[in-house]
Structure 1
């Protein structure tokens, strides 16, 4: 099975696996330094647009991305050659990070504006609304506080504590690093469906055949829907996935591949 691996795909697999296993063994969190941060965060650095794509949150995260690279990467590397394939991988990964950074900037501006509006006029109803709209993940852990605040809406102690919690949400959101090769992997998925649209693939769940072009279309539409409708507690970087697909499309157009040679 591993004989099908091409050089760049093999090396990418090894690097990504090593950067998950070695820090785990040494008890080092590389994501704190090399994960992609909000551009105005104190810990942001430009190199993070590159380094983030070689780190993963856990084994399941790594497995999903590397499995897709293992399945779709070798055929593209054989088609393009090692140099162009590696360029494609890096450009789509960085481009995905840039698009995510733009969306993250807009969302953080909205969050900071909402926080400033609350601090200017703190009250129980506004706090409850802020948490529901911007930090639903914290609702359960702060349930007792929210309940007590509701029973004592005029308490300066609860009002002051609520302001601190709103500021905590802003700090938490602004310092949450993005990690993972998903942007580059979704670029590879898009390229595969674009270059080999009628290739039959077999899904794992459910085990049914599907043409590559339909699989890519489904993933693209799903990521767009999930990005716009962002469910509470959803920490998947849907806009990074879409960014990888968008950059892939642009690159493919620039390279002007002849579709008459595809199958």
Structure 2
């Protein structure tokens, strides 16, 4: 990795350290501290908007995110420089989390309001959120009320983790700055960035709207991906347009 910018190495190392700590310190729930929680949950802390970017759930999760950071982050550091790259990376990641939380909030309030309209009280609903998943599902009615309770419970107790929001910001920025560069699909089929990256983002948008996975796996925070890409594209557009202006 001799030609990889130091800042890319540093981010990869920090991610690896977080991952090793997570799997080695089983007696400490690092996820409760560092994963992103729904902001109405008492486990939510503002720093999770940053720390969740360094948390990963599996070797495959961290491997593919860091591989993307290596391939797409390296040329973006060369374009932006270290400090500007860091601002871009964290802005995309934090922006992705905020957009995802906003989308979750709309889903959550919609489900809770529907339950209240069906006769449940807000206190009764929130009492269910403190149950374990097995306790909840053992008494869940098999009807629309049960569906709404499960939905609101899942959002309230959600934990989001991973660098994917920031990575999608980098992907969007890369496509804007290097639209005709070729990305080798499965290391064989060359596809230009201006075609390949929008397809990924649009696929995740469709998955987020329909709940059906297309390119990204199940349980993906689709709107975090889309949000990161939108933030990255906006920043790349503004910066490229004003590339001769001092920052």
Does the TM-score normalized on the shorter chain lie above 0.5? Answer: yes
**What interval of TM-score do these two structures reach, taking the shorter chain for normalisation?**
0.7 to 0.9
Within 2, Cα distance between the matches of 1:195 and 1:173? 36
Query: 1:216 — aligned with what?
Result: 197
Query: 2:229 — aligned with what?
Result: 245
In the alignment, structure 2 segments of 5+ residues that lack a partner are 122-139
Answer yes or no: is the 8 Å Cα contact 2:176–2:237 preserved in 1.
no
Distance 1:242 1:169, change over 3 A: closer
Larger Rg: 1
More helix, by proportion: 1
In the alignment, structure 1 segments of 5+ residues that lack a partner are 135-166
Displacement of 1:168 = 6.6
Q: What TM-score, normalized to structure 2? A: 0.81
Kindly report which structure 2 residues correspond to 1:191-202, keeping only aligned pairs within 5 A, or say none.
191-202=173-184
Q: What TM-score, normalized to structure 1? A: 0.77
Within 1, Cα distance between the matches of 2:4 and 2:145? 47
Q: Deviations over 1:170-201 (max 9, x none)?
A: 44430111111000000001111110000112
Could you tell me which of 212, 215, 238 is aligned with 1:254?
A: 238
Query: 1:11 — aligned with what?
Result: 10
2:36 counterpart SS class: coil
Query: 2:133 — aligned with what?
Result: none
Of 3-12 and 184-193, more deviation after overlay is shown by 3-12
Within 2, Cα distance between the matches of 1:71 and 1:195? 14
Answer yes or no: is the 8 Å Cα contact 1:114–1:130 preserved in 2.
no
Kindly report which structure 2 residues correspond to 1:160-175, keeping only aligned pairs within 5 A, or say none.
170-175=152-157
Distance 1:108 1:95, change over 3 A: same
User: RMSD of the TM alignment (CA)?
Assistant: 2.5
